[in-house]
Structure 1
Amino acid sequence: MRAGAFVYPWDVDGDPAAPGLLAGLGLAQVTLAAAYHSTRALTPRHPAHRIVTAAHAAVLYPPDPDRWAGRGLHPYPAGEWAPGDAYGRAADALAAAGLDVHSWVVLAHNSRLGAEHPATSVVNAYGDRYPWAPCVGRPEVRALLVDLAAEAAVRPGASGTELESCGWYGLAHLHAHDKTGGVPLGDREQYLMSLCFCSSCREGYGAGGADPDELAAAVRAALAPVWAGAGPAGGLGALEGPALAWRAGTARAFQEAAVAAVRAAAPPGFRILLHADPDPYRCGADTGTDPAHVLGLADGVVARPPRVAHFAAHARRDTVLAVNLPVVTGMGGTPARLADDARRARDEGATELRLYHAGLASDGDLAAVRTALDALARDAS
């Protein structure tokens, strides 16, 4: 199985040893962040720093001034954590080590955008705004993200891209000093708390035959037992269908536009994958999709086990089904089980590996990755 790993530019830029270390793991590909949300990241081996604080969502290269001139919504350049063309410098160094470089583009996840332009954010059924979650139901947000997809994906030297958050975002976000875990929320509750009621989404629900005020009231009623500790969330009755129909149709249209924009900007053979989930209710980094639709649109998906199996039934012979496996022990990964997890995913239909995250992993984690990839290579020989 072809193996790739996620990496940030600051893991490589300024560290001459990093490209060789990554190539020595047995990787064929690196998925390098070109547009990324705010984060605080450990860099265990970098000679100049140990902690990188990315203060806001940013592009990690100089944005094209002609593309964004005069536009109210635009991507933000990075600060000192990724100065200048940090992506380009890292990509050149990785390519020189023999690694295939693909861009990693995060779309609908941007706290600074929501802080500076509150009207762009998801609004829940209680009227609370989620500034980290741009609403893809809003035309101005879609226009921003579609153009961002084209620019950030097709960077010099990249032979493909992986689009994350290419759909709905919602409640599930580890915000700064997050304090939302007091009442456990399952998938159903996360979905209800992520339904958007901004002006665009209210119009969308109405066009689909659902009164938005009645829908918001139904969401609050469905969640009432959760807050009381009396049981799980209830249903929305007859309003369930129109709510999901609006969201699914909006996500599909956004995904179609984003992929089309990347294809128009990319050279022949450029590979486009979406981080995806087969559950249409799901929102977040792996956005909910219709497997048949997304695999008819993109060249493949990046999905978590065991969800990758749901896409396998709709795969073509050349479809990429990359399984995303965590390999950072301190973040819940199990690098010692990587070979077995990869074999299991292969049996479920996965064709490639994505390892999260080579830049965050300890030396011990990377040693386990190297051992696992060696074992998988022996399987194939």
Structure 2
Amino acid sequence: MRASTFVYPWDVVGDPDAAERLAALGVRQVTLASAYHSTRALTPRHPARRVVTARHAAVLYPPDPVHWAGRALRPYTQDWAGGADAYGTAAEALRAAGLPVHSWVVLAHNSRLGDEHPDITVRNAFGDRYPWAPCVARPEVRAYLVALAAEAAVRPGTDGTELESCGWYGLAHLHAHDKIGGVPLPGAAQYLMSLCFCEVCEAGYAGLGADPRELRAAVRTALEPVWTGGWAPGPDEWADVEKLLGTDLAALTLDWRTGVARDVQRAAVEAVRAAAPPGFRILLHADPHPHRAGANVGVDPAHILALADGLVLPGTDHLAVCAPHARPGTVLAANFPVVAGMGGSPRTLAADAARAAALGATELRLYHAGLASDTDLDAVRDALAALSAGG
């Protein structure tokens, strides 16, 4: 199976050996960040640095002022990735080493945007704002995400893209010093805490027949047993939502959110296709459970695979759900963490890949060669060599 590894531009820019080292792993592609959220990242092999602090979400190339003229929301630039066009510099070095480059575009996850424009963010049933999560139901957010997808995906010399968080983001943040683990919040509670009650979403609920104030109160009431510790999740996450909120209200919220997400995803894919050359591949990082939110957005596999060229799925758990909806040429990429210090299992990669192939995976994604130790990369190299030798 074709394997690609995720990489940041700062892993490559300023390191003359980085591109050849990545090619020697045995990967046949690199998925290179072009628009990314705030992070702090180790660079264990870079000759000039060891830690990069990306202070806020930014594009890693110079945004086109004409493309963004007159828009209320615009991407931020950066000064930490090794130059204004760090993406372009890194992509050129990777291509020179024989590695095709696909862009990695993070869309609906941007804390600085939410800090500077609080009215555009998700507002939960208790009135709390999530500055890291722009509400994708809002017209100005939708326009921003679609414009960002088109520009950040289709960079010069890029053969395809992977769109992350192309849909709803919610309570999960995955950055900063989170202190929300004191009360366990399983999937159903995450869903309820991720429901948005901004004025646009409230109008959406009302259009489907719900009183937004009553719905908000129902969500708060549904969460009470979670706060008191009197509720235990069952084996079916969505059935838990229905038990907590009631079947009718649960269905109504999902109808609203699914419709919004489908519209954003369709518009983003169409915008990328319009900007891209023929043959440009468009994948989404996804979870085939439409109620889920986050970096791997909830999707209906049948719907999204009729639009995009494929999905990047975490591990093997979701492949069996998506495989029946694949068309000729559809990509189902199984994404495996290979950084042992972050919970990855590089030593089991060959076995994991074989299992993924048996479940319908056509490609592999490896997270993340720039963060991995030399020992991790040695294990990845051995696994990919074994897979290649096995056909």
Q: Identify whether the pair has TM-score above 0.5, normalized to the shorter chain.
A: yes
Contact 1:306 1:348 in 2 (8 A): no
Alignment partner of 1:312 is 2:323? yes
Task: Note the C-alpha offset of 1:35.
Answer: 0.2
| Map of 1:68 onto structure 2 | 68
**Structure 2 residues not aligned, in runs of 5+:** 233-239
Question: d(CA) in 2 for partners of 1:127 and 1:165?
Answer: 23
Question: d(CA) in 2 for partners of 1:9 and 1:246?
Answer: 37
- Residue 236 of structure 1 is aligned with which of 245, 248, 262? 245
Counterparts of 1:293-304 in structure 2, within 5 Å, are: 293-304=303-314
- Residue 267 of structure 1 is aligned with which of 267, 271, 277? 277
| Map of 1:199 onto structure 2 | 199
Percent identical across equivalent pairs? Answer: 70
Question: d(CA) in 1 for partners of 2:99 and 2:181?
Answer: 40
**1:239 counterpart letter in structure 2:** L
Alignment partner of 1:155 is 2:165? no
Question: d(CA) in 2 for partners of 1:79 and 1:127?
Answer: 35
Contact 1:60 1:82 in 2 (8 A): no
Stretch moving more, 77-86 or 130-139: 77-86
Question: d(CA) in 2 for partners of 1:23 and 1:287?
Answer: 30
Question: d(CA) in 2 for partners of 1:273 and 1:217?
Answer: 38
Contact 1:273 1:302 in 2 (8 A): yes
**Structure 1 residues not aligned, in runs of 5+:** none
3-state secondary structure, aligned to 2:102: strand
Contact 2:72 2:140 in 1 (8 A): no
Q: Deviations over 1:106-145 (max 9, x none)?
A: 0000000000000110000000000000100100000000
| Map of 2:112 onto structure 1 | 112
3-state secondary structure, aligned to 2:336: strand
Q: Deviations over 1:67-90 (max 9, x none)?
A: 112322100011233431000000
**2:258 counterpart letter in structure 1:** A
| Map of 1:276 onto structure 2 | 286
TM-score (norm 1): 0.98
Contact 2:53 2:80 in 1 (8 A): no
- Residue 267 of structure 2 is aligned with which of 253, 257, 275? 257
TM-score (norm 2): 0.96
Counterparts of 1:203-214 in structure 2, within 5 Å, are: 203-214=203-214
Contact 2:163 2:285 in 1 (8 A): yes
Q: Stretches of 4+ moved more than 4 A in 1?
A: none
The alignment yields a C-alpha RMSD, in angstroms, of: 0.9
3-state secondary structure, aligned to 2:390: helix
Alignment partner of 1:32 is 2:32? yes
| Map of 2:375 onto structure 1 | 364
Stretch moving more, 223-232 or 95-104: 223-232
Q: How many residues align?
A: 380
3-state secondary structure, aligned to 1:63: coil
Contact 2:218 2:245 in 1 (8 A): yes
